[in-house]
Amino acid sequence: MDDKKPGFTSIDEYIAAFPEKTQVILQGLRAAIQAAAPDATEKISYQMPTFYLHGNLIHFAAFKSHIGVYPTPTGIDAFKDELAVYANAKGSVQFPIDQPLPMELITRIVKYRVEENLKKAADKSRKKKTKS
């Protein structure tokens, strides 16, 4: 018998699994990320909502007491002073679920990650052309 739970297949499905209050927070976060990265695609990666543009941009997840945002270590490091007031680690930050999310800060982090991924993709493309 297979004891593995089936995973989420979409961000809509992920968000729907939470209480209504949490769903509102997650929908707001999703909308902010979409606005900051309009060319990114949505997917589920590591069983978390993920935005992808030439690689993973940012993941997010809901927990009992916080919303986890995962913009890679570079995304955390670039905003470490502003993120210092929140629990954070090498590639993640925890925003308390009972406080408004810092959407302006999250937007800037996402835009930073977009630029970072676009630059990496352009550099990779240039390297391929010089090898040809």
88/102 Cα distance (integer angstroms): 14
The reported pLDDT for the residue numbered 35 is 98
Instruction: For the chain, list residues with pLDDT below 50.
Output: 1-3
What is the pTM (predicted TM-score) of this model?
0.90
**Does some domain include residue 5?**
no
Which CATH number covers residue 95?
3.90.1150.200
Domain presence at residue 78: yes
Q: How far apart are CA 42 and CA 59, in angstroms?
A: 10
Over the range 40-60, which residues count as b (16 or more CB within 10 Å of their CB) and which as e? beeebeeebbbbbbbebbbbb
Report yes or no on 83 lying in a domain: yes
| pLDDT tens-digit map of 40-77 | 999 999 999 999 999 999 999 999 999 999 999 999 99
Residue 103 belongs to some domain of the structure: yes
Question: In the chain, what is the straight-line distance between the N-terminal and C-terminal CA atoms, in Å?
Answer: 51
- At 123 the pLDDT is 87
Per-residue pLDDT at 127: 74
Predicted local distance difference test score (pLDDT) of residue 132: 56
Residue 129 lies in a domain: no
Total domains in the chain come to 1
Domain containing 31: what range? 11-121
Task: Name residues whose C-beta falls within 8 Å of residue 41's C-beta, 6 or more positions apart in sequence.
Answer: 51, 52, 53
Whole-number Å distance between alpha carbons of 28 and 30: 5
17, part of any domain? yes
Residue 64 inside a domain? The answer is: yes
Cα 102–chain centre separation: 14
| pLDDT (0 to 100) of residue 69 | 98
Residue 1: per-residue pLDDT: 38
Q: At 41, list the tokens.
A: 């695609």
What pLDDT, on the 0 to 100 scale, is given for residue 18? 96
| Confidence at residue 3, expressed as pLDDT on a 0 to 100 scale | 46
Strand partners for 110: none
108 occurs within a structural domain: yes
